[in-house]
Structure 1
Amino acid sequence: MEMEENQAQLCEASGDTAPDAGEQEDFESLIRGRYKEEFDAKVRKILDGRLRGMRQENQRLKEQKEKLEGVRKAEAAERIDRLRRQEGELRRLYPDFDWQKEMRSERFGRLILAGVEPRTAYETVHGRELMEKAMHYAAGRTRRQVAGSLASGMSRVAENGGRSIAVTASDPRGLTSEDLADIRRRVLDGEKIRF
């Protein structure tokens, strides 16, 4: 019993007691009646403090967003300028290249704005078409080379093996001492030498 009284006293001293229904009603009547203005002012002050913190955070986020948007716009403008500067070089490689037309393509535009080099972006977007063109070009060139070599083969003078072997007589007086030593060795091996 004594222990229960000690616990009750500790709870009252620390404020850990739950109000009973009567006390709760009294509190409600006080904040709606006699202390309404003070209670409303206290609630407003708490809410204003929280809202002020949220407004400041929103303002800071808004400023960061504006800065990032400005940086993105500047980077996009720089990348488009680079594309314009490289247009001549790209036209030498790919005569059909038109940067304004290419920027209408979502894939090409995303690649350029992501910082990809214009040539790489064009080759990425048009890779299949470029491969087909290269294959057609190579096939046409091979056809022309084969046709040219066949046509030139008809008009050429026959070479190696086209005619009978020409007989040339060698003059032993023009042989060097090395040639003569070689002939002597071949004769000793049993070969017949004719001039």
Structure 2
Amino acid sequence: MKKDLRLNLRMFDGAAAGGAEGDGGDAGFASQDISGTEQAQTSSDNSQVAADKEEGQKDSKSEFEELIKGDYKDVFNERVQGIVERRLKNANRTIEGLQGFQDQATEVLGILSARYGVQPDDMQGLMNAINNDDAMFEAAAEKAGLTPEQYRYQLHLQQQAELAQKQAEEIQQQVFVREQLDRWEAEAQQLQQYFPDFDLESECENPEFLDLLRSGVGVKAAFNAVHFDDIVGGVIQQTAQSVKQSTADNIRNRQQRPDENGISSKAGVVTKTDPSKMTAKEREELARRAMYGEKITFK
């Protein structure tokens, strides 16, 4: 189900910040005339903005509670149930894997315990018995040109080095994951400036979106790719509404503009053509000209 995205066209305007410059020449002198009353007013305005923001958040939470307990109760419950089931499924798969490993480990411990006459739960005793078993290392030691004792020591050093390497890789992986999550979170906050409804955690439930992130694509690019149709549709709709409103305002302004010297700013067009005999193209042309303020009359 695609979400209803609220679109901000500034996302596609690379020069949005350019209009802030201009009348800054006298700013240094104007700043000296700010009175204490104006500063107090600014502080009051900031407090009011903060209060309005907090009130808006409360209203949003209340509205959300009403929705999930009312008309969207079944949809919300189904969504939550789906999330829980997916997580339980993954947890069960992990548990099954651990159970299989434990069964195999128990079988190996049983064989070794029988071999050395040690209880299966006596791990230290079993390790000592293995380390003191020269027969277990004789063939490998002879092949390496070492005594069994030297071979055991070399094996111990190798195991310690592998353990240290594994721990270093785990730490490196944790750092990478943390940095990646921080980067995604920062990109998500930037994206929320244009799409206030964007929620990174919810989007990550979409396998397509998550696969793009994992492949190295940024949050913004991944979101645009997944919701391309929604975004383009929103741009077209807002552009059409903007053009329609601009045209209506232009026509209204032309109609309200006073005549100069009794002459209208847009001369009327008089045609002797019978409308019923006009072609579709001719009618469209007259309609277009009328839309821009021309007065069309027939005789």
TM-score range, shorter chain: 0.3 to 0.5
Q: So what's the TM-score if we normalise by structure 1?
A: 0.46
Q: So what's the TM-score if we normalise by structure 2?
A: 0.32
Larger Rg: 1
| Structure of higher RCO (CA pairs closer than 8 Å, 6+ residues apart) | 2
